[in-house]
Structure 1
Amino acid sequence: MTVNQIQDELGTRFRAAMAGVCSPVAVVTSRDGDRPHGTTVSAFMSLSMDPPMIAVALDQHSDLLSIVKRHRRFGVNVLSSGQHDVAMAFARKGAAKFDGTVWTESSGVPVIDRVAGWVACEVTELVPGGDHTVVFGSVVAVGAHDSPPLTYHARTFGTHLPHPGGTRGGESS
């Protein structure tokens, strides 16, 4: 086997393994002057509670990353279970992603209507990682709504349902 064949096989196996990981779906947003911009991601997480921080991975060649670098502020909109159409709209290329999307601005970032939750962040650090850049952000504002999140697993959208015999995190039986 050649080095390229080994790398291709590793990449194929890695994609298959990652398809087995259930991820929340979010739209990361920022402002390019007076124009909102955003993209769908599944690579984000809460990083710290004290102080509140998150991390999100953006493609190094994305328009959004260059906007976030200039604006130094970004939002993460955690989509609700019924918003797979929003996820698909923001996953495509182009400047018309916000067309037909109801949104407002809060703390300097676009917030999409009916999301499960959102955070607005100030960029604290940018760290290259492979073909992405990890953006660390300090949380400056938060909003949450009582709706189940949109998730992505096995290359399909879904949502989280509580296990019938389960307990909430931090509780013991």
Structure 2
Amino acid sequence: MTLVQDHRPAGTDQRDRFVAAMGNAATGVTVVATDGPGGRCAQTVSAMCSVSADPPSLLVCVNERSPLIEAVRRNGVFSVNVLDTGQAHVADSFAGRSAAGRPYDFGCADWETGRTGAPVLAQAAAAFECVLERDTAQGTHRVLLGHAVASTPGSGAPLLYHARAYGAHRPITPPGATAPGSATVNEETAR
């Protein structure tokens, strides 16, 4: 049996179903930022994932029309800032829909200059400073692969995005297990 892949462009129905299905995937919310000869620029990005711990590397996917792409190429560095649940306003600002102030305004939060020169968001749930390793085209987006030269875990909980809304992680208790912080029958009768 021979399998042949169909590489024709997806029809509107297939594309719409894909977008709807992806809306059911919960993702973390990040702001990818850069600074250097190519300018200071940042954008909200939900497509980010770890690639490897050896060497530490991650990837982000950014629309090819974003000015962030050219700035990262010219600067050769970028940071990935995992937003905390209290930083939804930062996500909105760098997505171009700021409720207060100007969109894409670094004044919406406190930033530090990282080891690479890229801006790093203060109080982020996590931050990664990367050197650009590879820039690959995939459809309407660019996949930026970065070598993480510095990683900073924060103490807050990460902001999540699902079904076109922000949210927060809520642990679930597996069947038969006791929820954290709750007493079991034996603990209660022992009191």
Q: What's the TM-score once normalised by structure 2's chain length?
A: 0.79
> Which residue, 88, 96, 107 being the options, matches 1:99?
107
Q: C-alpha displacement at 1:100, in angstroms?
A: 3.0
Identify unmatched segments of 5+ residues in structure 1.
Answer: 168-173
2:90 is aligned with 1:86: yes
Q: C-alpha displacement at 1:84, in angstroms?
A: 0.8
Q: Equivalents in 1 of 2:126, 2:59: separation in Å? A: 16
Greater mean alpha carbon deviation, residues 13-22 or residues 31-40: 31-40
Higher relative contact order (CA 8 A, sep 6+): 1
Greater mean alpha carbon deviation, residues 40-49 or residues 26-35: 26-35
Does the CA-based 8 Å contact 1:40-1:91 persist in structure 2? yes
Residue number in structure 2 paired with 1:27: 31
Note closer, same or farther for the CA distance 1:95–1:22 as it changes in structure 2 (3 Å cut).
Answer: closer
Q: Name the structure with the higher strand share.
A: 1
Q: C-alpha displacement at 1:159, in angstroms?
A: 1.2
Q: Equivalents in 2 of 1:133, 1:28: separation in Å? A: 13
2:84 is aligned with 1:75: no
Amino acid corresponding to residue 105 of structure 1 in structure 2: T
Equivalent residues, number:
164
CA RMSD, aligned part only? 2.2
SS of 1:134's partner is: strand
Looking at CA atoms only, which structure, 1 or 2, has the larger radius of gyration? Answer: 2
> Which residue, 130, 138, 154 being the options, matches 1:129?
138
Residue identity over aligned pairs, in percent, reads 34
Does the CA-based 8 Å contact 2:51-2:57 persist in structure 1? yes
SS of 2:173's partner is: coil
Q: C-alpha displacement at 1:11, in angstroms?
A: 1.6
Q: C-alpha displacement at 1:36, in angstroms?
A: 2.8
